[in-house]
Amino acid sequence: MKRLLIGYIVCFITILITPASVYAQTTIAINPSVIYQTMTGWEAVQQSGQVDCSIGFNVYKNQLFDQASQDLNINRLRIEVKAISDTSTQFFLFDSKNPNAENNSLKDKMDRVVIPYRQKMQALGKKLWLNFIFVGKSGFISQPDMQVYANEVLRTYQFVQSNYGILPDSWEIVLEPGYVSPSWNGSRIADATTRTSAILRQNGYTPYLILPSSSCGLNTAIGMFNNVLSANGGNKPADMREFAYHRYCTPASSDFTQLKSIMNTHNVASSMLEKGGASYIQLHQDLKVGNVSAWEQYHQLVKSKYHCGYPD
């Protein structure tokens, strides 16, 4: 099923169309003497309805980007990179026959969302963190190793640098391995991470790699990470800097204990990078117990005239 997704603390579109009267009044007391960690990333998916809402996107995009940058300070974007087809081993960076086509290519995402939003942030004197991630079905899992995947990551870095004069701030290896991205396992993630690190460094880049980004919950991510360690001789893959989990399954207190052990043992930050409909209670737990430094809510964009900004 095609999922039309948009993520961050509160859905961009929902903010634009929901009357303020429906929100309950809540008071949050802040104790400045208690510090947990430095929060660096309020993340959103770059999907803003630019393809599925088409003409309507041009109607609401400026207000959308203003609210996201000024009111919510969304300072980190998840930029999804997909294969050309379900069996391809080539990333869909641009449409070679029609480079300016409105589609799901990386170029289209960069041109219509990432660069304009980055400019909004720059005008406010703010830094926008660009987190690129591979998503979905592909032919990579049928390869004898993940070198072809690593080659495509390098090609993406070079494409972004040559076309926009910028670089990814981080690369998230794969979205929800074994679920959204089928047949990925700990061994493939370990190999992909190691080979990606090597080829990026060979070409003068300094990688910041994120994994495992598993479906379900923290326990699933910990299990996958342990499989990655096992496949990598018990060692953390080179240039892994962030441990990411999703929150569709409720974490147990023991999961957070294991998370802190992973963070301390392997010197990595933690991040919760997807939970549709997450509550403020879950946010506080991730911040205070999970010590996350990046966090992303995830919402579904309802495709309708009203949501897309079309006239009645």
Chain segment 119-152, per-residue pLDDT in tens: 999 999 999 999 999 999 999 999 999 999 999 9
Question: Which pLDDT tens digit goes with each residue over 219-252?
Answer: 999 999 999 999 999 999 999 999 999 999 999 9
pLDDT-based confidence at residue 307 (cuts at 50, 70, 90): low
Of 230, 250, 249, 246, the C-alpha closest to 292 is 246
Q: What backbone phi and psi angles, to 5 degrees, belong to 197?
A: -55, -45
Query: Is residue 2 in some structural domain?
Result: no
- Higher-pLDDT residue of 99 and 272 is 272
Tell how strand 269-272 and strand 209-214 pair up: unpaired
The CATH number of residue 123's host domain is 3.20.20.80
**Side chain identity at 266, as an amino acid letter?**
H
Query: Is residue 59 in some structural domain?
Result: yes
The answer to which of 17-26, 135-144, 184-193, 201-210 has the lowest mean pLDDT is 17-26
* Span 207-213, average pLDDT: 98
Query: Is residue 37 in some structural domain?
Result: no
Query: Is residue 7 in some structural domain?
Result: no
Query: Is residue 175 in some structural domain?
Result: yes
Query: Is residue 33 in some structural domain?
Result: no
What is the pLDDT at residue 14?
35
What is the pLDDT at residue 262?
98
Question: Which pLDDT tens digit goes with each residue over 17-55?
Answer: 344 454 567 787 888 888 888 888 999 999 888 888 877
The CA R_g of the chain, rounded to the nearest whole Å, is 19
pLDDT-based confidence at residue 299 (cuts at 50, 70, 90): low
Q: Where are the beta strands (DSSP E) in the chain?
A: 5-6, 41-45, 76-81, 129-134, 170-172, 209-214, 240-245, 269-272, 292-295, 299-300
pLDDT higher than 50, residue 277: yes
Query: Is residue 15 in some structural domain?
Result: no
HSE-CB for 137 with a 13 A CA cutoff: 5
Q: Where are the alpha helices (DSSP H) in 76-143?
A: 106-109, 115-123
pLDDT higher than 70, residue 301: no
CA–CA gap between residue 303 and residue 54 (Å, rounded): 11
Tally of structural domains, the chain: 1
Asked if 220 and 181 touch (Cβ cutoff 8 Å), the reply is: no
CA–CA gap between residue 83 and residue 210 (Å, rounded): 19
What residue numbers bound the domain in which 51 lies?
42-308
